Structure 1
């Protein structure tokens, strides 16, 4: 019996109108759909990146517009830590800033606002900022994970406090957290690795149990 050549073509070419290969019907379509999903996710990430950049622009603009009193309060916090904890405040200008700051409401740590003082050129003693927050100012402004900012502020609050003290475990946990924050993927993308979220949660829990009142 003679079959039409069109009818003897490999059945793997078409099956019910779907592209097939060998005995795996639809495998290329599955791959195509998976690729489309990847492209869609990438588009979402780009959109998130754009939104975050816009948010960062707005954030920096708001910081530029800080009032004189607010800037004094932020400088007061840093310079008081510099004087009382690091014993490196030995010039008249630091003393004047601290004295002026007393006219403003007493402020606690604020990693974002303090970072702005450096990024905008109002301060240059970056090592003081790193002692407080564990990172450089620009690294802090790149963080897109709010619990991480909370963790930085908690550390700065303890290390600058006259009344509270952290345990060795507290500082070890913070050091591990900072190590992960400095990883390239945390500063260059908007993907938050689970290792970072775990380290952040671990430090925040540690801060509840490993901070005590200073004795003496």
Structure 2
């Protein structure tokens, strides 16, 4: 309820004048405590207790630019209620700051990952020879190549005599850059044109490698490439099925990043696909030398 007052000066408990506006209104607040019981009993007790409050001394107080009149308990309650919107506003401001910090952190993390990837590539011509060997070995052992390709593939493999056992997503993608590579002196390596080899290994075209910067995504792509290109592993149908689902989800989100760290309906499928493929990849069997000799 609201208590109207006009042509009078209200005084606070300390006797100081607090208002002198004939058109203003003060919100009347009474608060008291009663014993818990049945609803009828509590209703009766509340009426009796509130009526008794009216016969006791009441006070007027300005709380956050609004006038309240009531007993001491009522004014305390009014003060607490008046602070709620202020606290909510502060919380909203803090949440906005947190979102901004999260965004800045994600950006910095992505930039850090990109710099780390660039450092990891170590793209000298010698390293390009090694990565060329990895791709060409896979093409020779697991794909059908034309007779006129055999010599070229053999030369590439021989040139990269340092073993390239594992996948390297960023480095391998760079081998497909249209401009090729040069060591700054006399050697130049032309770009690879067998994009189907890269896609069979990593699930995506090398042209999208620049968009994929999330380290956890790259690790899974490299895991698939390593398993597929090595006779030391025995990939399963489940392994390939989960990988294809992961690639579909990755493409559907336009190669989203940080999806393991955010709560969003848009990346739920990608998050699930990531977890399932990781679990499937961890179950891949290592084929021992004894197993190969008796197979």
Aligned match of 1:206: 280
2:6·2:22 contact (CA, 8 Å) conserved in 1? no
Partner of 2:176: helix, strand, or coil? Answer: helix
Partner of 2:167: helix, strand, or coil? Answer: coil
Cα shift at 1:78: 0.3
Q: 1:165 to 1:29 in 2, by over 3 A?
A: same
Q: 1:154 to 1:47 in 2, by over 3 A?
A: closer
Q: Distance in 2 between matches of 1:6 and 1:72?
A: 91
Q: 1:209 to 1:54 in 2, by over 3 A?
A: closer
Structure possessing the higher relative contact order (Cα contacts under 8 Å, 6 or more residues apart): 1
Aligned match of 1:129: 198
Structure 2: gaps of 5 or more residues: 8-19, 28-60, 67-77, 181-190, 261-266
Q: What is the root-mean-square deviation in Å for CA atoms of aligned residues? A: 3.4
More displaced stretch, 174-183 vs 121-130: 121-130
Number of equivalent positions: 208
Q: 1:159 to 1:17 in 2, by over 3 A?
A: same
Larger Rg: 2
Q: 1:127 to 1:107 in 2, by over 3 A?
A: same
Aligned match of 2:69: none
Q: Distance in 1 between matches of 2:240 and 2:113?
A: 31
Aligned match of 1:5: 21
Structure 1: gaps of 5 or more residues: none
2:233·2:285 contact (CA, 8 Å) conserved in 1? yes
Normalising by the residue count of structure 2, what TM-score does the alignment of the two structures yield? 0.58
Q: Distance in 1 between matches of 2:26 and 2:209?
A: 61
Aligned match of 1:85: 142
Map of 1:126-165 to 2, 5 A cutoff? Answer: 126-165=195-234
Greater share of residues in strand: 2
Aligned match of 2:166: 108
Greater share of residues in helix: 1
Is 2:134 the counterpart of 1:72?
A: no
Cα shift at 1:15: 6.5
Normalising by the residue count of structure 1, what TM-score does the alignment of the two structures yield? 0.75
Aligned match of 2:91: 33
1:170·1:211 contact (CA, 8 Å) conserved in 2? no
C-alpha offsets along residues 9-33 of structure 1, whole Å, 9 cap, x if unaligned? Answer: 475xx963279xxx97433651453
Q: Distance in 1 between matches of 2:125 and 2:22?
A: 84
C-alpha offsets along residues 23-59 of structure 1, whole Å, 9 cap, x if unaligned? Answer: 9743365145314422442243134314423542563
